[in-house]
Structure 1
Amino acid sequence: MQIFKVGGAVRDRLLGKPVTDIDWVVVGATTEEMLAQGYRPVGADFPVFLHPKSGEEYALARTERKSGRGYGGFTFHASPEVTLEEDLIRRDLTINAMAEDDQQNLTDPYHGQRDLEDRILRHVSPAFAEDPLRVLRVARFAARYAGLGFTVAPETLELMRQLSDSGELEALTAERSWKEISRALMEDQPQVFIQVLRDCGALKVLMPEVDALFGVPQPEAHHPEIDTGLHTLSVLEQSALYKQPLTVRWACLLHDLGKGLTPEEEWPRHIAHEHTGLKLIKAVCERFKAPKDCQELALLVGQYHTHGHRALELKASTLLELLQSFDVYRRPQRFEEFIVACEMDARGRKGLEQRSYPQADYLRGAAKAAWEVAVQPLLEKGFKGPELGEALKRERLKALKAYKDAASA
């Protein structure tokens, strides 16, 4: 029995990055031998075991063969005869197909270390094209390591293009796709993930609503970058620079989908794109079964982001309606995420990345003014039920009018 550290732990150590998760592969062992040493089985499809003390995962060396469509369409073979090189060749990228023993002696049959040094994301073997999930994984790694200068090898991008054209991407489950998408959006440069998907034709398969934004012009006075797709990438980039949570990043990606529906004869204006985009945002969220908080914020940002930009001009009654739409009194955090999504949208414009955004503090102040209206005096006046709700609304409107007057004084 031989035990090797494999995959990301080896890659990140060689890159000088922190190693968080460690994967182990066991060569020359049987299931019975692993059980006899106290390892606990957890793998449903192939032999994976938990170490009796550390709880880390140890997998028997295995080979795999394509047997159906999609991510799960494989049969696996694990036996003591499977070599380390045979196990490594089934992996996606050369930089993930290295192993080392407990003395840090490197096993690198597919030149992953050379590709690390050359900053290349390259597939290990033609079997790469058998697993459609790898299109998303490579794009995610591109987003993670773009800051270090990594790019996708042309021949790997071509395989990704073939996979995108084959119909295999449509066999991916919503759960698997969302897992990769959500992880990619939380990388340092999530806009690279979207760009790589577009470069290989996967974006038009997975998110045609986002792909449709590229080539759609906007008024240059507000959008010096002009192209709506490039603007979307810039907004996503800003959301990462400002370390925003997944909910905000997802909303930033989808906020302008309505502009993809504007007839060409109306370009570069996009009247009512906030409303026309809602059905597209909903469709994308449902396609990937995005978590409820991501769905809710994306829809709200899509509908109201132009309200955010015009916050200082809004009537007090419109401000009140905006606050109520967000249920701001019970869910203040969601309104805060809306505010920062609007700010990312404002900053995601060529040459305007450092612009100030006074609307943010203005909206926070408006929410505070409405929130501070006390209920108790209204109860003491005998208001209850629907009448209490109306009275509270009137008092909040008064407070917002006073806030607006003070802000403009």
Structure 2
Amino acid sequence: MQIFKVGGAVRDRLLGIPVTDVDRVVVGATTEQMVAQGFRPVGADFPVFLHPKTGEEYALARTERKSGRGYGGFTFHASPDVTLEEDLIRRDLTINAMAEDDQQNLTDPYHGQRDLEARILRHVSPAFAEDPLRVLRVARFAARYASLGFTVAPETLELMRQLSESGELQALTAERSWKEISRALMEDQPQVFIQVLRDCGALKELMPEVDALFGVPQPEVHHPEIDTGLHTLSVLEQSALHKQPLTVRWACLLHDLGKGLTPEEEWPRHIAHEHTGLKLIKAVNERFKAPKDCQELALLVGKYHTHCHRALELKASTLLELLQSFDVYRRPQRFEEFIGACEMDARGRKGLEQRSYPQADYLRGAAQAAREVAVQPLLEKGFKGPELGEALKRERLKALKAYKDKASA
């Protein structure tokens, strides 16, 4: 029995970056031998075991064969006869198909170290095209390592294009897709993920609503970059630069979907795109079964982002309506994330990345003014039920008018 570290642990050590996950492969062992040594079997699909002391995962070396559509359409074969090289060849990229023993002796049959040095993401074998999830994975790795200069090999991008055109992407489950998308959005350069998906035709298959934004012009006075798709990439880039959470990054990706529905004769204006985009945002949310907080923020940002940009001009009554829509009294964090997404939208414009966004603090102040209206004096005056709600609304409106007067003085 031989044990090797494989995949990301080897790759990241060679790159000189922190190793977070350690995967191990066991060569020359049977399930019975693993159990006899105290390893606990987990997973029904293939033989993976938990170490009796550390709880870390160890997988028997295995081969796999395509047996159906999608990510799960494979049969696995594990036995003591399977070699390390046979296990490594089933992996996606050469930089993930390296192994090392406890003395850090490298096994690199598919030239992963060479591709690491050349900063290339290259598939290991033609079997790459059997797993549609790998399209998303490669795009995610491109986003993760873009800052190190990594690019996708042309022949790998071509295989990704063939996969995208084959219809296999439609066989991916919402859960598997969301896992890759959400991880990619949290990388340092999530816009690279979207760009790579677009380059291989996968964006059109997975998110046609986002793909439709490319080539759609916006007024140059507000958007020097003009192209709505490029603007979306820039907004996503800003969200990563400013360390925004996943909810904000998801909202940034979807905020302008309505512009893809504007008739060409109305270009470059996009009247009421906030409302026309809501059905598209809802469709994308549901397609990937995004978490509830991501779904809610994406819809709210889509609907109200132009309100945020015009915050200083809003009437007190409109301001109150906005605050009520976000339930800022019980859910202050969601409103803060909304402001963050809108600021990213404002900064995601060519040459305007560093400009100030006074609307952010103005809205924070407005929310605070509304929150400070006390309920107790109204209760003491005898208000209750719906009447209390109306009285509270009147007092908050009064507070917002006073806030606006003070801010503009």
What SS does the corresponding residue of 2:224 show, helix, strand or coil? Answer: coil
Q: Which residue of 1 aligns with 2:169?
A: 169
Give the C-alpha shift of residue 43 in structure 1: 2.0
| Superimposed CA distance per residue, residues 289-326 of structure 1 (whole angstroms, 9 cap, x where no aligned partner) | 00000000000000000000000000000000000000
| Superimposed CA distance per residue, residues 109-146 of structure 1 (whole angstroms, 9 cap, x where no aligned partner) | 00000000000000000000000000000000000000
Instruction: Tell me, in whole angstroms, the C-alpha distance in 1 between the residues paired with 2:351 and 2:54.
Output: 51
What SS does the corresponding residue of 1:138 show, helix, strand or coil? Answer: helix
Instruction: Tell me, in whole angstroms, the C-alpha distance in 1 between the residues paired with 2:230 and 2:310.
Output: 23
Instruction: Tell me, in whole angstroms, the C-alpha distance in 2 between the residues paired with 1:43 and 1:4.
Output: 20
| Superimposed CA distance per residue, residues 69-97 of structure 1 (whole angstroms, 9 cap, x where no aligned partner) | 00000000000000000000000000000
What SS does the corresponding residue of 2:233 show, helix, strand or coil? Answer: helix
Give the C-alpha shift of residue 61 in structure 1: 0.1
Instruction: Tell me, in whole angstroms, the C-alpha distance in 2 between the residues paired with 1:52 and 1:241.
Output: 41
Q: Which residue of 2 aligns with 1:215?
A: 215
Instruction: Tell me, in whole angstroms, the C-alpha distance in 2 between the residues paired with 1:43 and 1:371.
Output: 50
What SS does the corresponding residue of 1:91 show, helix, strand or coil? Answer: coil
What stretches of structure 1 move > 2 A for 4+ residues in a row?
none
What SS does the corresponding residue of 2:26 show, helix, strand or coil? Answer: strand
Where structure 2 has 5 or more consecutive residues not aligned to the other structure, the ranges are: none
Instruction: Tell me, in whole angstroms, the C-alpha distance in 2 between the residues paired with 1:44 and 1:154.
Output: 36
Instruction: Tell me, in whole angstroms, the C-alpha distance in 2 between the residues paired with 1:208 and 1:56.
Output: 40
Give the C-alpha shift of residue 52 in structure 1: 0.5
What SS does the corresponding residue of 2:63 show, helix, strand or coil? Answer: strand
Give the C-alpha shift of residue 45 in structure 1: 0.5
What SS does the corresponding residue of 1:224 show, helix, strand or coil? Answer: coil
What SS does the corresponding residue of 1:187 show, helix, strand or coil? Answer: coil
| Superimposed CA distance per residue, residues 312-359 of structure 1 (whole angstroms, 9 cap, x where no aligned partner) | 000000000000000110000000000010000000000000000000
| Match runs of 1:180-191 below 5 Å | 180-191=180-191
| Superimposed CA distance per residue, residues 227-281 of structure 1 (whole angstroms, 9 cap, x where no aligned partner) | 0000000000000000000000000000000000000000000000000000000
Instruction: Tell me, in whole angstroms, the C-alpha distance in 2 between the residues paired with 1:117 and 1:53.
Output: 36
Instruction: Tell me, in whole angstroms, the C-alpha distance in 2 between the residues paired with 1:115 and 1:141.
Output: 14
Instruction: Tell me, in whole angstroms, the C-alpha distance in 2 between the residues paired with 1:49 and 1:115.
Output: 31
Give the C-alpha shift of residue 148 in structure 1: 0.2
Instruction: Tell me, in whole angstroms, the C-alpha distance in 2 between the residues paired with 1:174 and 1:332.
Output: 30
Instruction: Tell me, in whole angstroms, the C-alpha distance in 1 between the residues paired with 2:251 and 2:241.
Output: 15
Q: Which residue of 2 aligns with 1:232?
A: 232
Q: Which residue of 2 aligns with 1:39?
A: 39
Instruction: Tell me, in whole angstroms, the C-alpha distance in 2 between the residues paired with 1:53 and 1:121.
Output: 36
What SS does the corresponding residue of 1:69 show, helix, strand or coil? Answer: coil
Instruction: Tell me, in whole angstroms, the C-alpha distance in 2 between the residues paired with 1:106 and 1:291.
Output: 41
Where structure 1 has 5 or more consecutive residues not aligned to the other structure, the ranges are: none
Instruction: Tell me, in whole angstroms, the C-alpha distance in 2 between the residues paired with 1:224 and 1:53.
Output: 58
Instruction: Tell me, in whole angstroms, the C-alpha distance in 2 between the residues paired with 1:32 and 1:383.
Output: 74
Give the C-alpha shift of residue 17 in structure 1: 0.5
Instruction: Tell me, in whole angstroms, the C-alpha distance in 1 between the residues paired with 2:46 and 2:201.
Output: 32
| Match runs of 1:390-409 below 5 Å | 390-409=390-409
Instruction: Tell me, in whole angstroms, the C-alpha distance in 2 between the residues paired with 1:243 and 1:262.
Output: 32
Give the C-alpha shift of residue 98 in structure 1: 0.1
Instruction: Tell me, in whole angstroms, the C-alpha distance in 2 between the residues paired with 1:314 and 1:148.
Output: 44
- For normalisation by structure 2, the TM-score amounts to 1.00
RMSD value over aligned CA atoms? 0.2
Q: Which residue of 1 aligns with 2:73?
A: 73
Q: Number of aligned pairs? A: 409
Give the % identical residues.
95
Instruction: Tell me, in whole angstroms, the C-alpha distance in 1 between the residues paired with 2:287 and 2:46.
Output: 29
Q: Which residue of 2 aligns with 1:317?
A: 317
Give the C-alpha shift of residue 361 in structure 1: 0.1
Give the C-alpha shift of residue 6 in structure 1: 0.2
Q: Which residue of 1 aligns with 2:115?
A: 115
What SS does the corresponding residue of 2:52 show, helix, strand or coil? Answer: coil
Instruction: Tell me, in whole angstroms, the C-alpha distance in 2 between the residues paired with 1:261 and 1:326.
Output: 26
What SS does the corresponding residue of 1:3 show, helix, strand or coil? Answer: strand
What SS does the corresponding residue of 2:71 show, helix, strand or coil? Answer: coil
Instruction: Tell me, in whole angstroms, the C-alpha distance in 1 between the residues paired with 2:349 and 2:184.
Output: 22
Give the C-alpha shift of residue 383 in structure 1: 0.1
Instruction: Tell me, in whole angstroms, the C-alpha distance in 1 between the residues paired with 2:66 and 2:238.
Output: 40
| Superimposed CA distance per residue, residues 368-399 of structure 1 (whole angstroms, 9 cap, x where no aligned partner) | 00000000000000000000000000000000
Instruction: Tell me, in whole angstroms, the C-alpha distance in 1 between the residues paired with 2:94 and 2:303.
Output: 44
Instruction: Tell me, in whole angstroms, the C-alpha distance in 1 between the residues paired with 2:232 and 2:110.
Output: 37
Q: Which residue of 2 aligns with 1:351?
A: 351
Instruction: Tell me, in whole angstroms, the C-alpha distance in 2 between the residues paired with 1:282 and 1:43.
Output: 34
